[in-house]
Amino acid sequence: MALEIPMEVTLIMGPRSEDRSPESAATRIGLGARLLQSLTAEKIHEAGHGRKTFQLERDLDGPECLVMHSVLHVDRARAMSQRELWELIGRELMTGPLASKDRKYLAFLSCTRYRGAPNPRTHEDTLARTQGHAALGGGGLALFGSACLHTWPTCMAQVLARFLDTTAIDTEQLMDDSNYRGTHGGCLATTLGSVLHELGHTFDLGHTRDGIMGRGFDYVDRVFVGAAGIDSNRNPVRREPQHTTVALSRPLSVTVTVQQPPVASPRRNRLLSETSSRSGGLVGFEASGTRTPGRLSAPASPELNRSFARSIAASAETPAQTDRTYWGGSCAALLAHHRWFNSDLDNVRRLNCNDLKYDAKRNVVRSRFGVRIIELRESVGGLVVASRQFPGNHLTLEAMVPPPPPHCLAALTLVAEDSVGSILKHPLPTAF
């Protein structure tokens, strides 16, 4: 069964010069999602796993987004926290006509309102002046506010210009979610990248110290315009962009052509549900009432960003990481073998129960289909602190769990995946 991602949105904020209608919002989200489809495939390919990506429910057919009319009153929504909104919208989705165990949901809130904060010093100051906002993903739902959606392109012809837009954000009127860059292009890069980051959580990814599941998602602009991205400080820098052509055709085929090096077109993949035993509903909204919380991501301070930018400029980066937007090794491997990313695992999913197990006495993970990835993550925050991968055609039926790094005192969770995309999550004892 194919993954389906309906997307919900209505009226958005923005300058008067922008079309802020529900139709315009839907168009922006649809195009943004397809850009992320292409980016996901290319970054998995760069990690050595071929081109695999998620499928949107409608592809190029029909309206890009569906509008869900919530029963939640707008005043109450604007008084709720991000996590409260995520939980309520998730429950509403799974009790309504859009409910499906074979979908993940990318949703945008129409109630987001920015109340103005002249020269906010920190991102926390900006968030304190923003109501009905979310940037939170986990389980089966990635939820976002719409205050910066006006910076997103509405057509392919606008993509380069929007990423390179150095117009300063008027913080008295508009939310600045640009990781301290202060420009419309910076807002587009950070918010589009944040969508990919939070979607990563819905596909069982944890946090990493860098890359897409770290703060590397702030720089998705560099994937599309090369070194012409907006600098990480408030002084935008224009550089000569690489010559890139991105084309969408029907049925969905995303083709990216770069003068040097050449890039072939990613193949389209259907995505499958994670577990064969799931009875339905959002992952993380169980019948018992327990939940797997979504994960929040906050931007680094301006000082840390400038320090990081200097260290990056002074170091020799690998070609796959020069744009700072990449899947970490275990993240790429997990996506490459994930059931939502492999249609050829459908029969295996139907015929076999979950065979992936953890033997605590021997501290090993085993699966008759072959273990592919083992991670140790901090139980609070989900940061990956250690990992092992088992690539190639030879199946590793049993593998030792890697030791935690020295001086790691945090409670840890074991996360593993096998060749057929089964996922195991097991809390480890504190004395592990």
Q: Are 102 and 123 in contact (CB under 8 A)?
A: no
What's the CA gap between 288 and 367, in Å, rounded? 28
pLDDT at residue 388, as a whole number: 97
Record the tokens describing residue 223, joined without a space: 């994937």
- Average pLDDT over every residue of 77-85: 95
Residue 119: predicted pLDDT: 80
Share of the chain above pLDDT 90, in %: 58
Q: 118: closest CA among 172, 177, 180?
A: 172
d(CA 333, CA 49): 7
Cα(first)–Cα(last) distance of the chain, in Å?
38
Q: What pLDDT is attached to residue 101?
A: 87
CA distance 31 to 58: 12
**Pairing status of strand 7-8 against strand 105-108:** parallel
Nearest to 386 by CA among 396, 375, 397: 375
Least confident piece of the model among 131-145, 206-220, 305-319, 354-368: 305-319
Structural domain boundaries in the chain:
7-321, 352-427
Q: Is the model's pLDDT at 131 over the cut of 70?
A: yes
Is there a cis peptide before residue 261, judged by omega within 30 degrees of 0?
yes
CB atoms within 10 A of CB 214: 20
CB atoms within 10 A of CB 300: 17
Q: Average of pLDDT values for 219-240? A: 64
Under the banding of pLDDT at 50, 70 and 90, the label for residue 276 is: very low
Measured on CA atoms in the order 339, 343, 344, 346, is the torsion positive or negative? positive
Q: Which stretch, 52-61, 182-191, 403-412, has highest mean pLDDT?
A: 182-191
- pLDDT for the residue 145: 95
pLDDT at 251: 36
Which range among 23-32, 60-69, 281-290, 356-365 shows the weakest confidence by mean pLDDT?
Answer: 281-290
What's the CA gap between 269 and 278, in Å, rounded? 22
Q: Across the chain, what does the average pLDDT equal?
A: 79
pTM (two decimals): 0.79
Nearest Cα neighbor of 143 from 92, 217, 85, 99 is 85
Share of the chain above pLDDT 70, in %: 71
pLDDT tens, residue by residue, 284-342: 333 233 344 444 444 444 444 444 444 444 434 444 456 789 999 999 999 999 999 98
